[in-house]
Amino acid sequence: MVEELGKKKSEQYWPNVAGAQKVYGAYTIHCTAVDSSDKRIVHTSLRVEENGKEVCSLKHYQWIDWPDRSVPHSLLAVFRLLRFSRNSRFTTVVHCSAGIGRTGAFVAIEMILQRSVSSDSVKMVNVVKQLRGMRASAVQTDMQYVYLAMSIVNYCKEVGIMKSSFFEAFNRFKESYESLAQKRLAEEEAKMRGMANDMEIMERHIEEITKELERWDTQLEKYEARKEENIEKLYEEPLPADCADGIPQVRTTRILTNQCLAMYHGSKELVRVKQENEQLETRAEELHKEVQEVDEITQE
C-alpha cells in the first residue's frame, strides 16, 4: 500500500524489491531490479509472465516527493520523466491517486512542450481546457496551474532559450512561486493532519455508539423477556376463591388490574427504549456517512 501522511493513496500493485513477485490470476509480475539513485524518482524493472511464459517487460517510475494536491519540490524532475517516456516505443500510462491533479499537470506539461515545437504561441489555458475535456478536473488546484507556467519558463532558462532580458522577471516569479508553494504545502499538510484527527474522533464516537447500541439491545431483550413472563403469569394465575361463576370480585379485579398496569408500564418503557435505540442507530448511520465523506475527501 502506498501512503502519504499516513493516508492510503494507492495499492502496492507492483513488486518493489528485487526478486519479489506478485500474482494476479494467470499473470505473475517479477521485480528484476530497483534503481533508487535518483532521490526523487525510483526506477523499477519488471517482467510479466502469463501462465509461466514471459509476455513483456516493463519500466516503472515512481515520483516519490510530489505531494497530493500540491506541487513537486523539483522543477526539472518532470522533464527527466518525460525523457524516459519519449525514449520508449511503447505506450506510457500515467497515474497518481485520483488521476487528475498530479497526473493532469504532468500530461499538460508534455502537451505544452509538444505544441511549442509546432507553434509560435501556446496558450496554457487552452491546453488545460482541452485536457479537462478528456479528463474532468485535470490539473486539480490553482497551485498546480501556476506550476505548469513555472516549470515551462524554468525549462526555457535551463536549456538556454530564454532571453537574458527576461532573467530579472523570471527570478522574481520564481521567488514568489517558491514562497507560495511552501505556504500552500504547509496548509495542505495541516489540513490532511486535521482530517486524520477528525476521522480518529469520529471512529471513537462510532465505537462508543456501537457499545451503547449493544447495551440497549441487551436491555430490550430483558424487557421483551419480562413482558413475556408477565403475559404468561397473567394467563396462568388461578382464579381467586372470591370469584363467583367466573366473575371476579373486588380483590380479584384489583389483582388483575395491578398485573395489567405492570404490563402497561413495562410496555411504555419498552417503547421508550426502542425509540432511544432508533435514535442511536440513526446517529450511528450519520457518523458512518461523515467518516465516508471525510475518507473520500482525503483520497482525492
**What single-letter amino acid sits at 218?**
T
Hey, which residues does 172 pair with through a beta bridge? none
Angle, helices 250-299 vs 167-236, to 10°: value is: 160
Per-residue DSSP letters for 178-221? Answer: HHHHHHHHHHHHHHHHHHHHHHHHHHHHHHHHHHHHHHHHHHHH
Give the single-character DSSP code of 239: P
Which residues are CB-neighbours of 62 under 8 A, at least 6 positions away?
41, 42, 44
User: Is 241 buried (19+), middle (13-18) or exposed (0-12) by CB count in 10 A?
Assistant: exposed
Hey, which residues does 43 pair with through a beta bridge? 35, 61
Do 260 and 227 form a contact (C-beta atoms < 8 A)? no
> If we measure between CA atoms, which residue out of 200, 186, 184 comes closest to residue 294?
200
Measured CA to CA, the distance from residue 16 to residue 226 in angstroms comes to: 62
**Secondary structure of residue 124 in the 3-state scheme:** helix
Q: Cell 519479489 maps to which residue?
A: 20
> If we measure between CA atoms, which residue out of 65, 113, 104 comes closest to residue 86?
113
- 96 in catalytic set: yes
Catalytic residue among 31, 96, 243, 260: 96
Q: How far apart are the first and last CA of the chain?
A: 16
Give the single-character DSSP code of 57: E
Q: Catalytic positions, please? A: 96
